[in-house]
A = this chain, B = another copy of it.
Amino acid sequence: LQDQLREFAKVREWEQFHSPKNLAMALVGEAGELVEIFQWLNEAQSRDLDDQERARVTEEIADIQIYLLRLADVLHISLASAVTDKIAENDRKYPVEESKGNARKYSRRKS
């Protein structure tokens, strides 16, 4: 997938625009569009999207994934290892028994 995206950028001569700085901006822009879909919905509504909302979310998460893959690629970071390492770290950081709790405690712990 990363090869495909790299080739896509290369043949269009877009690699010049794809600095990590710019890709990070593009990614947060798409994340902003994702949030806009949910901003006026309550949590229950956000779990029960209609077809139009669902289609928009699908597009935005695809855009985010694409920029994330590009960013990892141009920086030669292995996204798979990064995720695996982070999950292992989270496992240590949030032991099951101590990690159950209300949103506020959860929030404190996670921020």
Contact = CB atoms under 8 A, between A and B. Distances in A.
Interface of A: 1, 4-5, 8, 11-14, 17, 19-22, 24-47, 49-50, 54, 57-59, 61-66, 68, 71-72, 74-75, 77, 79, 82-83, 85-87, 90-91, 94, 96, 99-101, 103-104, 106-107, 110-111
A25 B22 contact: no
A19 B35 CA distance: 12
17 contacts: A4-B87, A13-B100, A13-B101, A17-B40, A17-B103, A19-B46, A21-B41, A29-B32, A41-B103, A45-B104, A50-B104, A59-B86, A61-B71, A61-B77, A61-B79, A61-B82, A65-B68
Q: At the interface, is chain A mostly helix, strand, loop or mixed?
A: helix
A38 B12 contact: no
A54 B82 CA distance: 11
Given A11-B96, A28-B32, A62-B85, A21 B49 contact: no
A62 B81 CA distance: 9
A77 B54 contact: yes
Contacts of A39: 22, 25-26, 29, 107
